[in-house]
Structure 1
């Protein structure tokens, strides 16, 4: 009996310490008081020092597909930047944008989503496009200080992390969700079914809502004529080779339901090819320019989630939520709304990158309480975390503010209006679409 009591006490102490570590790490990631990578390293150090789990559990994030997809995405993003292919894509966009402010904004939002198909890194797309976008705004006469310039920059910056939630490999929260679901439940998400489930509402409809919000909040006009931009040099051999590599990578992603190779390993193979001598477009030492701090951040989130699940803290949090959540077996609409609300609630405490980790760890409990199948419960959270109400909840939006020199007040105004509008309009449409596809009874 004494040994059992001692074991129970040790277990309770582990749960308590894990809860403290969870609050500490999520709080620091949400507030940004210290750099994300420092918080990530702090997690690894404290988890090992306090012996909260085995090293295999604590460092399990480094074995996740999400870690390797983010890493390979950064290599591909660097190649797109270094070869000039990104500039060429942006210029092709600029040449096609209409000479009307609503069309200009809609074109930028559509391009942000299309770029996600070939560049699986939100931060990489922001770093690539915002400087180019500033030049495009100048060409259109949207000079500094004009509301149209602010609207154009924020349209791209907000669309980048939000609309890409509909594309499995193009968004860190998606990767966190997919990696956690695979680790905890053995669920394997595939490219095309995921795209078909989410893109019509979370990309097309929300893109239209974002366009309306930007045009109404940042009213402006564009002249009927604009001066021509400086011509680009002829396409280089490196650009051609990279375009072929990207086309093959995208083709393998789209057909993963046939060959069953996960997107992470396709992306990793593309990153290797990009750095191969004579075949690729980057020297091998270019890897030193990759921002590995984001990769460590992803690994820490997965490790923290694994500890929360293994220690029993996840079960305790699940019981607390289930005690107040109005789940009812057979009430599909009520259960859908409750799950979306829980996903949105996690955003305010953990940001878009951390919310899927906590939600997915509790998905089994939510499934049992609601009567919905586990995959549907996991998928419903995307409708929730694909809403941002405050800039800090999505790091790419904060990065857009810095690069585009946009004020916090203007950014918050857009995120609040857009987040509220999409929750009221897109979430009910997502429910109907889920039901139409048979995901909900």
Structure 2
């Protein structure tokens, strides 16, 4: 029979062990090697050399210009280093910056554009407010409010996190904003339950926030960046105005609702936790402190700004940065400069700037356009074969999504929609809508900046995120997409 979990069980003892008055002499300690040994560096060099060889061979066969080949070699090498983990993430990211500049793959303002991106500042501001949430105790209080009565079991806990993330997408259009709001709360729950960093329970909770904040909400307008890009591009290029209700009806039942169910099941299978979880007593609550009250007001204003960005036009990034500055003000006293320096870590911010810069390099170098045009020539499209045409268009989108990252996919695919519609015999609106199953399917975590931000904030490595993404992508391709095809036929989009 399970026993209630004490909130102080995971915290250090209040009485430290006294050090010995006469410590035994010991040999000088050498710091452990960082990032592995020489064999890891050689393995990374082999992977990079293979990627460069593949890029040059493909470029020679296609007759591509040398700058395009260099861009392809850099992008492929960087993606493989991130996906395979052959180099630590900061090392691979810094190597990308260096090679892009040394080999003149793109101008410096393009290579380092990630640092000027709203997504980077959104993460920085969110990390600072996360420090305030933990320091004031408000994260723990919110965890009690949201999850206090719902911790009867691990599966129910994961389901509650997933439903909260998807439900919030109907109210808050910023994916990263939802991640920044939910992650400190979920980490507070993990701490209270004794889920240490690296434990299955903590990994499962963090990855549920990451995946549920991005994947199912791609079926809701305008809850994600790819949705919004597709909405704007369809209107500006073709005069097609996507309807909220029609978009939701077409995509949410399978790729939203069913995918959420599959996600919960998969997290519980890949990262299982044995035993039941019991909620804390509601009577343990204490009145809010002045610091908690001030922070609650700051966060309430920030969330209101996130939810209404379509009305006032201010990016959630700058709202997040403004909340960060308020927390740092001496008169407010929510985050000290020392706490900011110690608890906001540089490697996650470097990595975010890296994969944002990678997408900019793909666009600036013309690599995305060249690959998409080449694929268009080789696509086996023929009128009257809707299933094969949909699969071919989806495969092209998946390939481009591995290079451009998913937020940039509609910007590359939408200009090709008219040609794809003419070659396949599908309607233009159907071809536009076929992008949604593609950018809702994350094959590798780096394709989705919000997922990577969530993993970095939650302290979960790429290996675990890759396991979940690959497994969920496999189930999506084998089960969910065939069901989605049947649903599209019922609605008359495919025949």
The normalised TM-score by structure 1 is: 0.69
Cα distance change, pair 176–160 in 1 and its aligned pair in 2 (3 A)? same
Question: How many angstroms apart in 1 are the aligned matches of 2:435 and 2:332?
Answer: 40
In structure 1, the partner of 2:359 is 305
In structure 2, the partner of 1:293 is 347
Question: How many angstroms apart in 1 are the aligned matches of 2:102 and 2:227?
Answer: 27
In structure 1, the partner of 2:208 is 159
CA RMSD between the two structures: 4.9
Q: Which among 377, 380, 389 is matched to residue 323 of structure 1?
A: 377
Q: Which among 394, 397, 417 is matched to residue 367 of structure 1?
A: 417
- Does residue 87 of structure 1 match 2:136? no
Structure exhibiting the larger radius of gyration computed from Cα positions: 2
Deviations 1:1-59 (A, max 9, x none): xxxxxxxxxx9221121111112211111112222222222222222222223222222
In structure 2, the partner of 1:19 is 72
Cα distance change, pair 96–35 in 1 and its aligned pair in 2 (3 A)? same
Question: How many angstroms apart in 1 are the aligned matches of 2:151 and 2:180?
Answer: 27
Deviations 1:265-324 (A, max 9, x none): 222222222222223611244432312322322322233333332333222211232234
SS at match of 1:96: coil
| TM-superposed deviation, 1:342 | 4.3
In structure 2, the partner of 1:283 is 336
Q: How does 1:391-410 map to 2 (within 5 A)?
A: none
Question: How many angstroms apart in 2 are the aligned matches of 1:433 and 1:72?
Answer: 41
Question: How many angstroms apart in 1 are the aligned matches of 2:380 and 2:438?
Answer: 16
- Does residue 129 of structure 1 match 2:186? yes
The normalised TM-score by structure 2 is: 0.62
| TM-superposed deviation, 1:163 | 0.9
Aligned residues: 398
SS at match of 1:47: helix
| TM-superposed deviation, 1:385 | 2.0
In structure 2, the partner of 1:6 is none
Q: How does 1:371-386 map to 2 (within 5 A)?
A: 371=421, 372=428, 379-385=436-442
In structure 2, the partner of 1:146 is none
Check the 8 A contact 2:208/2:267 in 1, yes or no: no
Check the 8 A contact 1:70/1:121 in 2, yes or no: no
Check the 8 A contact 1:301/1:357 in 2, yes or no: no
In structure 1, the partner of 2:406 is 356
- Does residue 37 of structure 1 match 2:87? no
In structure 1, the partner of 2:289 is 236
